[in-house]
Amino acid sequence: MEAAVAATERRAPTFLRAARAAAATTPLALLLVSPSLDAGVLAEDRTDALYHSYDGGGVQVTGPSLLVRKGDNKQFSGALNYYVDNISSASVDVVTQGSPYSEKRSEWSGSVDYLHADTTMTAGYTRSDESDYQANTFSFSISQSMFGELTTVTLGYSRGFDDISSNVDAAVDESADHQNYHVSLSQVLSKNLLLSLNYDAVTDEGFLRNPYRRVYVLDDPNDPNGLANFNTPERYPSTRTSNALSANFLYYLPYRASLKLGYRYYADDWDISAHTVDLRYTHPLGSRWLFDVGARYYQQTRADFYADLFQRPDQQNFMARDKELSEFKDYSLGFGVTYNLLKKPYGFIDKATLNFNYDRIWFKYDDFSDVSGGGPAAQAPLYEFDADVMRFYGSIWY
């Protein structure tokens, strides 16, 4: 189901993608991403209620999420999820090209797993709604366990259909089409070591830019140190093809702890390449506490049609000043704590936990200037900001 997640997050800005990457180590996030983590075993019945918060770069994002999973303990298991982003933005893009705004993004998703022997098939649907963007994503995956359940192979496909409009220009009525092909291999290398390999190929076609964003162009092309303006809309290619390959090692330590090391490489035909490295350590304390700490590093190159400052409005066919297409890096450090509320099952509840996770993320842009202060374009400082990400949630198994 990673293919479905990739499709639904395609429009998410860099800060939200980084926040969700940090959150992807939590049990709730794993359940949302992959309803059936291993072929041959249905996911456990459970309910999760989450509240998330992001604050950084002039942007605040908060909201709840509720997920319910229930199966027949034999062949079928289904999950429903409701997720909300309440966004309040006065980011550097907004204050230089428009006015602060607030909006709400709501998302409904559902999936059904069917288990037959060592094969698990999953079908899913996600619907995301904003005032100017609606996305529908359909997905299907099949997983097969083999060699005594030491090896699991998963094939997945998702198709997304987006409708794009504008809150300031009624003439904008566009669409985009996204396809994701996914293959993964999970291999038990030893009694303590697990390897996961993943590959995704993604094709995007249609309206792939933000209808509000404009490029930064010098008022006088003969004066590189002069003033500039945002009077020229961005122009993007109508197609994009990307590939991503990742490897994750999970090592179980003798004292019930675990160590996870992951690496991901990304490249697309817009000339962007990216590297992600993450490390996480999980440690139990007694029978009711679980602690984890982690670090993540991300770095990418810029798109071939991106520029911080253009000399003239017709400088090239495609022009962009989206900082997410620039050369930048981000670092994150975080921790999590889980408390088991029950020493033993109580009534119909087998297990219940309270969980808290926090991550601090530092973004540094290598060729994107903060021009919010005005003045000559060449004198603007490079942009950077910090962000705080928090998730608090409760889970019950039944």
- Over residues 204-232, the pLDDT tens digits come to 999 999 999 999 999 999 888 889 999 99
16 pLDDT above the threshold of 90: no
> 83, 65 in Cβ contact below 8 A?
yes
HEC readout, 214-252: EEEEECCCCCCCCCEEEEEECECCCEEEEEEEEEEEEEE
Question: For residue 55, what is the domain's CATH number?
Answer: 2.40.160
> 232, 319 in Cβ contact below 8 A?
yes
285 pLDDT above the threshold of 70: yes
- Condensed to tens digits (0 to 9), the pLDDT of residues 75-104 reads 999 999 999 999 999 899 888 888 888 999
Give me 29's structure tokens: 């996030």
Q: Which residues pair with 111 in a beta bridge?
A: 79, 124
> What pLDDT, on a 0 to 100 scale, did the predictor assign at position 97?
85
Computed on alpha carbons and rounded to an integer, the radius of gyration of the chain in Å comes to: 22
Mean pLDDT score across all residues of the chain = 90
- Condensed to tens digits (0 to 9), the pLDDT of residues 141-168 reads 999 999 988 999 999 999 999 999 999 9
Q: Does this model's pTM top 0.85?
A: yes
Residue 2 burial by Cβ neighbours in a 10 Å radius (0-12, 13-18, 19+): buried
4 pLDDT above the threshold of 60: no
Whole domain around residue 119: which residue ranges? 2-397
> What pLDDT, on a 0 to 100 scale, did the predictor assign at position 149?
86
The vertex-186 CA angle with 181 and 4, nearest 5°, equals: 30
Provide the strand spans (E) within 235-381: 239-252, 258-268, 273-285, 289-300, 328-340, 351-369
- Condensed to tens digits (0 to 9), the pLDDT of residues 130-147 reads 999 999 999 999 999 999
For the chain, how many structural domains are there in total? Answer: 1
> What pLDDT, on a 0 to 100 scale, did the predictor assign at position 99?
84
CA distance 237 to 17: 22
Measure CA 48 to chain center.
19
Distances (CA, A) of 125 to 1, 84, 132, 134: 11, 16, 20, 14
Q: Which of 182, 165, 183, 166 is nearest to 174 (CA)?
A: 165
Give me 252's structure tokens: 């179980």
